Structure 1
Amino acid sequence: MANAEVLQEGTLHCFPTGLRDENGELVNVEVSAVVYDGQRLILASDKPIPGDARSAVFAVPITAAGPDDRGLEYFTADAIKRAVKYEDFALTADGRYVLATTGFDRIDMESHALNAYNHLLIWPLGEPEQVQVVDPDPRDGVEGSLELRNKLDGAIGYPYYKIEGLAAIPGERGDGLLLFGVREQGYSHEDFDYVCRVVGAHYTVNDHGNLVFVDELREFYSFSPQQQPEVRYDCGLSSLEYDPHHQRLFLLTSFEVEEAEEERIGGYLWVVSLEAFAAGKAPTLVRTMAGDALEFGHKAEGLAILDSERLFVAYDNDRDMSLGSIDERDERHACEAPYTILRLT
């Protein structure tokens, strides 16, 4: 059994209060991805953050006292600013590179107007200015990981899907096994099911620092959260995170439902050993210290391993501004991202 206790909760100030976009609309931070690089948290909002000196991807230092947004730094390389709707980060299995994926949930093959939503990026740890696009379209001037999208089409088997998880684990070939977590699948953005599927392929990082797949993308894992009786709502996968300290994989699921004419959001945390993952065994639901199911009061979307005991959870509450237990205030500012730090036992 895996149990967790809350060590710290709070909010990160991600850009100036009152920031507005080109249409005059208030910008809302919606953190959907996070990874710890050994010194800093790298986070991303799944909505753009406007400004030449800003981007949707940024880093904040973190110490034993928690994250410090006074040291926030935006990543402004062209490829990072160009990609839209970031959904998850990961480190390569050897910890030398950062990977970032968008949602791959929309495409227009004729106009290429939606290519920004179809990106897998890689850069050396600590060197985001060296970012490269993984599996790009071979045609000049066509941006995005469109070759990868074709592979995802084949592995997932539906015309519509959304990627929200990314993790690299040790594998039998190459430099490791890269896993993509599927949250939604179906026939359109209006006709889909929430799922918890994991597809992937083995990879290597070549001499140019780019990731190359060395075998076919295929399904590796799936599970149904609703088979656990304490899961109250229909969930979809929202993040994957490899724990190299204990050779296990964390899976984050979240829900957004309407109940009694009221919107409800939240999530659950699961863990599975790499051995059990390979065997297709169901993950274990993480529980509170009292033994109850750990149910987040916010839409848990990002997960980062801080050390052998601590996890950082980021929330993407969309337009829900309530803070609940995270702060004594009732509501957050649009520039604030709520988070929780857990300790697992």
Structure 2
Amino acid sequence: MTRTSILSEGTLHCFPTGLRDEQGRLVNAEISAAVFDGERLILASDKPIPGESRSAVFAVPMGSEGPIESGIEYFTSDAIRQATKYEDFALTADGRHVLATTGFDRIAEDSHELNAWNHLLIWPLGHPEQIRVVDPDPRDGVPGSLELRRRLDEAIGLPYYKIEGLAAIPAERDDGLLLFGVREQGRAHDDFDYVSRVVGAHYQVDEQGRLTFTDEVRELFAFDPGAHEGVEHVCGLSSLEYDPYNGRLYLLTSFEAEEEGLHAIGGYLWVMSLEDFHARRAPTLVEDERGGPRVFEHKAEGLAVLDANRLLVAYDNDREMALGSLGDTRDERYASEAPWTLLSVT
């Protein structure tokens, strides 16, 4: 049994209120990726954040009550800016490097126009300026992790998919096993099913910070959240996170549903031992203070392990502005704000 309680909740201003893009549209914070590097919380929006001194990836100090927005720092290297639609972060199994993945949910057959959606990036902890693209196309000047795209195509086996989870776990061989969480799969972007599936491959990182795969990507795990009686919505996997303090794996699943004319969003949290993961046993649904399922009222997309007993969940509510229980003095968030929850785990 794994039970959680809410330590604090709030919203984080990810950029100045009222920021607009080049077309004059209001920019919306849609936090889809989170990781804690031991000092700072690194976050990403799956939509661009415009401005010469900004990007979709940024870090904030982590205080005892939550993230501290006054210390925000954007990552602005060319490789960070070239990638689009960030979906998850992870630390390598040894904790020495940060990994970032985009969704891999679109590609152009006859051009490089959509390569920005196909990136796996790596940089040494604390040094995002030393970023590298993982598994690039061998041709000079071709952007993106196109060799990885080929590996994912073969492992997933369908024309369309979306990657939303990323985690690295220890392995007896090599430096670790890199996991990719699949949320959607099907024939096309408008013809798919929500899934909770994990594919992956072993990897090594050399002294120059280059990550290489030592075997092919293959399916490692899959489960059906709806098979659990506590789950009331069709879910897809939205984040993976390895907990090195307790040697276990967390999985986030989230949902979007139309119910009685209303747009319902939310999510669930799951946990499993690495032994259960390798044996392909179903994960356990994490509970709330009362022993029922921990059901998030916002669309849970980012998960960060802070220490042995605390987690931070970040939300990507798309264009949904309602704050729900987070709204002490107002009902709606600003477009620049991202909701979050700090959890204690027992």
TM-score scaled to structure 2, two decimals? 0.99
Listed one character per residue, the Cα deviations across residues 164-204 of structure 1 (whole Å, up to 9, x for unaligned) are: 00000001221000000000000000110000000000000
Matched letter for residue 166 of structure 1: L
Residue 67 of structure 1 deviates from its aligned partner by: 1.1
Residue 207 of structure 1 deviates from its aligned partner by: 2.7
The more displaced of 86-95 and 169-178 is 169-178
Q: Secondary structure at the match of 2:168?
A: strand
Matching of residues 262-281 of structure 1 within 5 Å: 262-281=262-281
How far apart, CA to CA, are the structure 1 residues paired with 2:106 and 2:324? Answer: 33
Matched residue, 1:128: 128
- Determine if the alignment matches structure 1 residue 224 to structure 2 residue 224: yes
How far apart, CA to CA, are the structure 1 residues paired with 2:326 and 2:218? Answer: 39
How far apart, CA to CA, are the structure 2 residues paired with 1:244 and 1:20? Answer: 40
Matched residue, 1:284: 284
Matching of residues 184-333 of structure 1 within 5 Å: 184-328=184-328, 329-333=330-334
Residue 268 of structure 1 deviates from its aligned partner by: 0.1
Matched letter for residue 335 of structure 2: A
Matching of residues 77-156 of structure 1 within 5 Å: 77-156=77-156
Q: Secondary structure at the match of 2:112?
A: coil
Matched letter for residue 95 of structure 2: G
Q: Secondary structure at the match of 1:112?
A: coil
- Determine if the alignment matches structure 1 residue 170 to structure 2 residue 170: yes
Which 4+ residue blocks in structure 1 deviate beyond 4 angstroms?
none
How far apart, CA to CA, are the structure 1 residues paired with 2:167 and 2:216? Answer: 17
How far apart, CA to CA, are the structure 2 residues paired with 1:254 and 1:65? Answer: 25
Listed one character per residue, the Cα deviations across residues 7-53 of structure 1 (whole Å, up to 9, x for unaligned) are: 01000011011000000000001000000000000000000000111
How far apart, CA to CA, are the structure 1 residues paired with 2:69 and 2:185? Answer: 36
Listed one character per residue, the Cα deviations across residues 107-148 of structure 1 (whole Å, up to 9, x for unaligned) are: 003111000000000000000000000000111221000000
Matched residue, 1:337: 338
Instruction: State the identity %.
Output: 69
How far apart, CA to CA, are the structure 1 residues paired with 2:40 and 2:129? Answer: 16
TM-score scaled to structure 1, two decimals? 0.99
Matched residue, 1:48: 48
How far apart, CA to CA, are the structure 1 residues paired with 2:203 and 2:326? Answer: 39
Matched letter for residue 236 of structure 1: G
Matched letter for residue 120 of structure 1: L
Residue 327 of structure 1 deviates from its aligned partner by: 2.5
Over the aligned positions, Cα root-mean-square deviation in angstroms equals 0.6
Extract unaligned runs of 5+ from structure 2: none
How far apart, CA to CA, are the structure 1 residues paired with 2:205 and 2:23? Answer: 41
Residue 223 of structure 1 deviates from its aligned partner by: 0.4
How far apart, CA to CA, are the structure 1 residues paired with 2:118 and 2:32? Answer: 16
Matched letter for residue 4 of structure 2: A
Q: Given that residues 8 and 65 in structure 2 are in contact (C-alpha distance below 8 angstroms), is that contact kept between their aligned partners in structure 1?
A: no
Matched letter for residue 287 of structure 1: E
The more displaced of 108-117 and 94-103 is 108-117
Residue 261 of structure 1 deviates from its aligned partner by: 1.6
How far apart, CA to CA, are the structure 2 residues paired with 1:280 and 1:107? Answer: 31
How far apart, CA to CA, are the structure 2 residues paired with 1:158 and 1:142? Answer: 24
Q: Secondary structure at the match of 1:179?
A: strand
Q: Given that residues 179 and 198 in structure 2 are in contact (C-alpha distance below 8 angstroms), is that contact kept between their aligned partners in structure 1?
A: yes
Matched letter for residue 336 of structure 1: E
Q: Secondary structure at the match of 1:19?
A: coil
Q: How many residues align?
A: 345
Extract unaligned runs of 5+ from structure 1: none
How far apart, CA to CA, are the structure 2 residues paired with 1:17 and 1:63? Answer: 22
Q: Secondary structure at the match of 1:341?
A: strand
Matched letter for residue 279 of structure 2: A
Residue 319 of structure 1 deviates from its aligned partner by: 0.1
